[in-house]
Structure 1
């Protein structure tokens, strides 16, 4: 499924389950509270993925993904399912699928995460080399965190453990079989191997891995993932680095001796991850920690850099960052970047970064979310460019959501917001009609007079 097709399958049917519950739970020796407030899911729309039933839902007005598993307490898999819940709560990283809520409902284990879908459902054939390498870099960074910061072995790095968010960002998950390096014993490996794909299991499993090489097991799994899933979609004729990278993976990550397999931090240094697109991704992620002068220089040149790439790739990879709350609060962002982001590209206008189609599909949803944020700086930015993007918003959303938000603005104490809001209301009239904007109690007050001409 494409993301849009899968997302479109979530609808509010009569058999939607609304969960309003607060239950005490016992997770091992830890007392926790499960609090699902207004979680809306349609179980008939769930799809089985490994040990989980995955359902797209809504929680507190946000789109979420719900993972549900009903392995009985007597099942040998049950401890691993509960491990996924515990690990999701503890291990947080921007490139690990974001945990929102979770716990138990009777015998059912429920984990709620940010909205995402399995990589295998996303359609790698529709991704460019730039998107695939950016995705791989995200997964490698997550594994660097697990290894170098958390001292954890993932133990099941494969396609089924990777998810893609609605913004096209790859996230690592599948934490059922993870364990600390200290617990990576032969007994633990034998227990989890029966649930892992046999072709992915390293050939040296029976040998004792010394502490200095405890990354080796995940490195082999990652190599198999590259070889079997990613390699068919990486055309060596597009970028010369690809062929060398695939050869390196086969030679080193899949080496039969564990002490020859590379650390994930060294993988990030490979030339395939050094192209300008990934440097741009890293610069965007680090923009907030730059000095004021460095950030000013970076943002001044950013529109020209972004225009070098396909607008669909830019929208799917960077739109959530570029239109994030924190990014909009950077003063130079409003000056150099927002005119390009909030104005679609058209025949008579080359300022915009995105075609009208991409703008409507990928940028408008972010703009709608920003109207829910009652921050003066963000609201002024939106109002300044309102006439450029308003025609691309659905009329129902304009009248039911945008108009009430604008009417709040005319009651604000900030005179600039009031003035800009009144201008925006004027631009709404040709889009949804004066009756909707001002109310239906209107009457003719001004007459159209014509001069009397004497012949």
Structure 2
């Protein structure tokens, strides 16, 4: 039976047996995933067919030369194609050993065998007991070659193809079975000595090659593969290039594997990479999904060292379902080098899958950004630098000014005050000007850092005479505008104060704010000025109203003080 023959005769070019069972009077056979050749033959090019025929011929050579059995039913329906494009020989229903091969056996099976592959003279062979027993399969192979190439119009893709077809028709189907060539001689035909066939054969027979032969082969392999269509190389040689024997070879790891596992982008035309991204995804990626689960340290290290080159050829789901679980297993190994390389690979997965997926568990913000925040008002002291959101052009203009120019402009713009009523006729104006000059020179609160002149440049003239830090902080933009604008705009942008007298009184409040009790509170004269220091109403800010209210509240008379008793004349004794 076919399943017994598949179990007994194992070869890389024969369909792989998996299992078989019987249920409800039916028999089931499980083999590797394959597709009948008839379903894919129209899609194959000449080179792929050439490689496939070579595989079938090697399977027949194995059966006849090593196992001493005859297949007896070589045809398209007995050949299958794997997912990677390799041809596999099946249809073992009529296989028999040489000693069982007879005319009676052939007569019984003739009705079920492919009629075009049946030799009409096969019964005559058994007259001679010493006759060859491979003549049936040799004849059928000649018929197979004719059928797979009969619809092909061009033979230019593979050299010696037309010669080989004539050879199969005239020699393999010779009327005299004794004149037909043996299978080993067919393998030596020039058609099967094609460069691509030689590479394919060497990779299959790699375990039988010497170290020197392997070294010479792998060093020249990249250049030889680039001579052929990349899709043909990937479909026919992809599995062989990613086999264990290749991946574990030291020379191959240096000369072929990096170019094999690195896809080339569409922009890269002249590169040593073998496969484009589309070809890589179609043929190489499925194989890598299988290899990543192999628990071999050397193979795992080889994949991880090249992981960053091909990781973007997989979807997020594939990376999470296939690669991530295997990497998490790798970090628990006792091999320190394997663990370190695995951790680096996990780091490459973080930008793609996210840290929560890669490391799992709960996360928290444990680190802060320690970079200094440029021009942040929160880090500046409230006194000395009241402006917010300083524009770079304005800031440069401010830094170029000096304190002397600001004071001079203030003296030029400040209008002359008219003479007040009362006894302060000769001294009030001079005292105010002297008080302002002294404040500019001796105000200790301004001496907060080494950049004294820069801090003063940032303040307006109105900020120099203010004593409240909150007022300076809330209205700093007015100070900036007063420096950048012209001298006329500077005068109009100053904060409004009801009277110059209030400046004098304000200065006194600044100096005496720490006194516990003012003994001369009731002796303060009430001065009614005859004129006010007026500023253009059009440019007056809403802030000035707040200042007037605050200053007026400080000078307002408290009605509760009227009921207090003053000092009598007797208290002086």
Task: Give the TM-score normalised by structure 1.
Answer: 0.78
The residue aligned with 1:451 is 373
Q: Which runs of 4+ in 1 moved over 6 A?
A: none
The answer for the alignment partner of 2:317 in structure 1 is 396
Find 2:340's aligned residue among 416, 419, 431.
Answer: 419
Q: Could you report, residue by residue, the CA deviation over 1:263-287 in whole angstroms, capped at 9, with x for unpaired residues?
A: 2212111111111111111222233
Instruction: Identify the match of residue 138 of structure 1 among 41, 44, 55.
Output: 55
Is the 2:222–2:272 contact (alpha carbons within 8 Å) kept by the matching residues of 1?
Answer: no
In the alignment, the residues of structure 2 paired with residue 266 and residue 106 of structure 1 have an alpha-carbon distance, to the nearest angstrom, of 48
Selected match of 1:283 from 202, 212, 222: 202
- Measured against aligned partners, the alpha-carbon deviations of 1:51-78 in whole angstroms (never above 9, x if no partner) come to xxxxxxxxxxxxxxxxxxxxxxxxxxxx
Equivalence for 1:382 = 303
For residues 334-392 of structure 1, give each alpha carbon's deviation from its aligned partner in whole angstroms, at most 9, with x where no partner exists. Answer: 21121111110122482321110011111111111111111111111111111111111
- Asked if structure 2 preserves the Cα contact closer than 8 Å seen for 1:387 and 1:427, the reply is yes
Map 1:433-444 → 2, pairs under 5 A:
433-439=354-360, 441-444=362-365
Counterpart CA distance in 1 for 2:95 and 2:374 is 89
Q: Is the 8 A contact 1:116 1:163 kept in 2?
A: yes
Query: Which one of the candidate residues 96, 100, 106 is aligned to 2:14?
Result: 96
Pick from 63, 66, 75 the counterpart of residue 149 of structure 1.
66
Change (3 A) 1:287 1:208: closer
Preserved CA contact (<8 Å) 2:18 2:32: yes
Output the CA distance in 2 between the equivalents of 1:378 and 1:156: 41
Give 1:438 shift.
2.2
Q: Deviations over 1:156-210 (max 9, x none)?
A: 1000011111111111110101112222222111110111233332121332333
Q: Which has the larger radius of gyration?
A: 2
90, 99, 102: which is aligned to 1:182? 99
Retained in 2: the 8 A contact 1:339–1:351? no
Per the alignment, residue 71 of structure 1 pairs with none
Counterpart of 1:261 in structure 2 is 180
Contact 2:125 2:131 in 1 (8 A): no
Q: What corresponds to 2:35 in structure 1?
A: 117
Q: Is 1:366–2:287 an aligned residue pair?
A: yes
Question: C-alpha deviations, 1:276-319, integer Å up to 9, x for none?
Answer: 11111122223333333332222122122212211111111111
1-side partners of 2:161 and 2:12: how far apart? Answer: 26
2:156 & 2:260 partners in 1: Cα distance?
Answer: 32
Kindly indicate whether the alpha-carbon contact (under 8 Å) linking 1:96 and 1:171 is maintained by their aligned counterparts in 2. Answer: yes
Partner Cα separation in structure 2 for residue 153 and residue 327 of structure 1: 33
**C-alpha displacement of 1:440:** 5.3
Q: Deviations over 1:128-178 (max 9, x none)?
A: 222111111111111111112222111110000111111111111101011
Secondary structure of 1:247 counterpart: helix
Aligned counterpart for 1:310 among listed residues 229, 235, 238: 229
Distance 1:426 1:153 in 2: 57
Contact 1:129–1:234 (Cα < 8 Å) also in 2:
no
Q: Which residue of 1 aligns with 2:85?
A: 168
Task: Please state how far the C-alpha of 1:255 moved relative to its aligned partner.
Answer: 2.1
Task: Specify the alignment match of 1:407 in structure 2.
Answer: 328
- TM-align CA RMSD: 1.9
Number of the residue aligned with 2:448: none
How many angstroms apart in 2 are the aligned matches of 1:283 and 1:234? 30
Where do residues 11-410 of structure 1 align in structure 2 (5 Å cutoff)? Answer: 83-122=1-40, 124-209=41-126, 210=128, 211-233=130-152, 235-346=154-265, 347-348=267-268, 350-410=271-331
Provide structure 2 residue ranges, at least 5 long, that are not aligned to the other structure: 381-394, 396-573
Other-structure match for 1:431: 352
Contact (CA 8 Å) 1:118, 1:160: kept in 2 or not?
A: yes
* Structure with more helix by fraction: 2
| Equivalent residues of 1:234, 1:242 under 8 A apart | no
Output the TM-score relative to the length of structure 2: 0.62
Deviation track 1:388-413 (CA, whole Å, cap 9, x = no partner) reads 11111121121122111111222222
Greater Cα shift, 371-380 or 409-418: 409-418
CA contact (8 A) 1:343 1:351 kept: no
Q: Which runs of 5+ in 1 are unaligned?
A: 1-82
Are the counterparts in 2 of residues 231 and 246 from structure 1 also a CA contact under 8 Å? no
Shift of 1:325: 2.2
- Verify the 8 A CA contact 1:253 1:262 in the aligned structure 2: yes
The 1:302/1:237 distance shift into structure 2, 3 A limit, reads closer
Report how far residue 126 of structure 1 moved.
2.4
